[in-house]
A and B are shown apart, each in its own frame.
Chain A
Amino acid sequence: MSSANTQTTLSRLRGLLEGPNTLGNSKSFWVGFVLAVTALAAYPQVTDPYSALQTSRYFALAFLAISLCFVWGYCGVLSFGQVAFFGISAYAFGIIGINFASTAGATVALFGAVTAGTFAAAVLGYFMFYGGVRDVYVTIMTLVVALVLNTFMGQTAGSEWAVGTARLGGFNGMTNIPNLTFGIVFQTVGFYYAVLFALVGTYLGLRVLLNSSFGMTMVAVREDEERTATFGYNVAFVKLVVFTIGGGLAALGGVFYASWGNYVDPSVFSIAFAALPVVWVSIGGRESLLGTIGATLFIERMRTGLSSGIGPIGPEWALVIVGGLLLAVILFMPAGIAPTLNELKNTILQRRSGRSPSGGPTEESIK
């Protein structure tokens, strides 16, 4: 292919990926992005296996974060229960994978689990949005669903609570969940690369979707539901589609999470875990997918660091520090870190050149 051809392909690609709904619409942003992904790809080669394994868990959680960023940041639906679809998918992956213990079985489990989580989101979304549930009631309802699952799964310790050979296990959780398998088995470093690849792919895919006309519709619904309906949009349907896609993303994260530790327990439905995505997204920036991913990696790395305690600070302070960080960000940067940095950069550029160029390099908070 000639270089001119490559040029047009690249600019067409950028045309799909860039737009007013996403931050980072410049050449320097993409250079930074490629560098960051390269750095993450090189990371397992330069660090110990334990750190690489921990980081791959953060990647799995990042799916949960972008699922909330997508439904809340871009469509205004604050779901406090993304963990429900994450957890349903994790359990479904375990149930299918344990019952069909083979390479093919685990591959089927991957698809089956994502389908289960997505379907759960679609059903809940249908009843909420077509039933006229809105705003804070959506938040409450989704949280209640997660908490009900938390309670329910907690009482499944008895041997009668089994699906085939898969014991649900109550508070002790489900063990012996198979590794991530997609034709071949992904373990340790292989798992790291598989999840990183999926995360980068999902990020780019969501950018294309958000900058398409559907993304514009999502933002219109977020900004003003009534007005959007008066242009003939079926707002309930738009929200259902968005919520279902969000559920699918959380479900994918759930599969990665369950296959990472070969284990899942009801704490994935707990209120502390349900609050984390809201924290990641609020800190990273509701309207920034990359900011959200960066915040997830940073906060989870910090929590891991604190879990063994640092000096006089005991591990029990980890959530308190995260909460303090949340308060500080909400007070000083209500839009979140990434959008604030982007704003700051625009102001500086504007001052330097006198004219305001839009777009430019933006958030790079990936650790």
Chain B
Amino acid sequence: MSTPQDINARQKPAVATTGAGRDAILSTRQLTKNFGGLTAVDSVDFEVNEGEIRCLIGPNGAGKSTLLNLITGQLSPSEGHIYFDGTDLTGLKPHERIDTGLSVKFQSPHVYENLSVKRNLMIPLQRTDRDVDHVLTDTLDRIALADERDTSAGDLSHGQQQRLEIGMAITLDPTLMLLDEPVAGMSVDETADVAALIRSLHDDGMAFLVVEHDMEFVREISEKVTVLNQGAVFRQGSIQEIETDDAVRRIYLGEDV
């Protein structure tokens, strides 16, 4: 996949990718969500730093999707606050949160099936003040769909639709990109394409929060992993630390240790 980095030179201050001394752009404080008697997210203090790729893993029902939905505003928290880039998101509507520099790609593909690939990209892009032609060409290159620009999105393969989804989300030029299982149902090659795409965007300074089950993929992209279990942060650390942690292997990887 071609990834021309020069054209998409981002206006944001370049971010050191060393990991040390970076500021948190997203943080949750005592974030809690109750569904009736069930506490899906339980007093979570969680941070994502500027320009990092953070993966969020955990067994089914650990609260990953709930946490993501709280950040995007699909759900409102029972208690606690969410801060992003200096703004308290907690009371904002979902669409208002996008304007603070968030962008999101939900789990199931949600492309505009009846519209062409180009028009799919135009819908988010026309809201920004970016140079339309320039960003369109660049994004089509990045997601390797330049030849399909006039194809109806509904006629694309599953993997192409997922890439288009990511393409649509990045036309907003977000500071932080939220991805819910971006490679679910993808072949090995398609997964590698998406990993390369994420890495190239990360090189340009975009931060990611990725909910993912595919450990192979997590290993490909991530510097730091957060493990959720029963609605709380269970472990946090580098991918090596997490994979060698006995407790994590017991609860998540299902191994008998």
Contacts and interface: CB of A to CB of B under 8 A. Distances in A.
Interface of A: 20, 213, 216-217, 219-220, 223-224, 226-235
Interface string B213-237: 0000000000000000000000000
Contacts of B168: 231
A235 to B, nearest CB: 7
Contact of A20 (B98, B104, B119, B124): B119
Nearest to A214: B126
Contact of B114 (A223, A227, A232, A234): A223
Interface string B70-84: 001000000000000
Interface string B85-120: 000000001111011000110100011111110010
A129 to B, nearest CB: 13
Contacts of A213: 126
Nearest to A231: B124
B172 interface: yes
B110 A231 contact: no
A216 B123 CA distance: 7
Contacts of B113: 223
Contacts of B115: 219, 223
B184 interface: no
19 contacts: A216-B123, A216-B126, A226-B110, A227-B110, A227-B112, A228-B123, A230-B72, A230-B94, A230-B98, A230-B104, A231-B98, A231-B172, A232-B124, A232-B127, A233-B95, A233-B127, A234-B93, A234-B95, A235-B95
B172 to A, nearest CB: 7
What is the size category of the interface that chain B forms with chain A? 20 to 34
A231 to B, nearest CB: 4
B112 to A, nearest CB: 4
A231 B123 contact: yes
Interface string B163-193: 0000010001000000000000000000000
B84 to A, nearest CB: 14
A232 B98 CA distance: 5
B123 A220 contact: yes
A17 to B, nearest CB: 18
A227 B124 CA distance: 10
B54 to A, nearest CB: 20
A260 B98 CA distance: 50
B122 interface: yes
B87 to A, nearest CB: 14
Contacts of B111: 227
Contacts of B93: 234
A216 B122 contact: yes
Interface in B207-257: none
Please name the 6 residue pairs, one residue from A and one from B, whose CB atoms are nearest each other, closest first: A232-B98, A231-B124, A223-B112, A227-B110, A220-B123, A213-B126
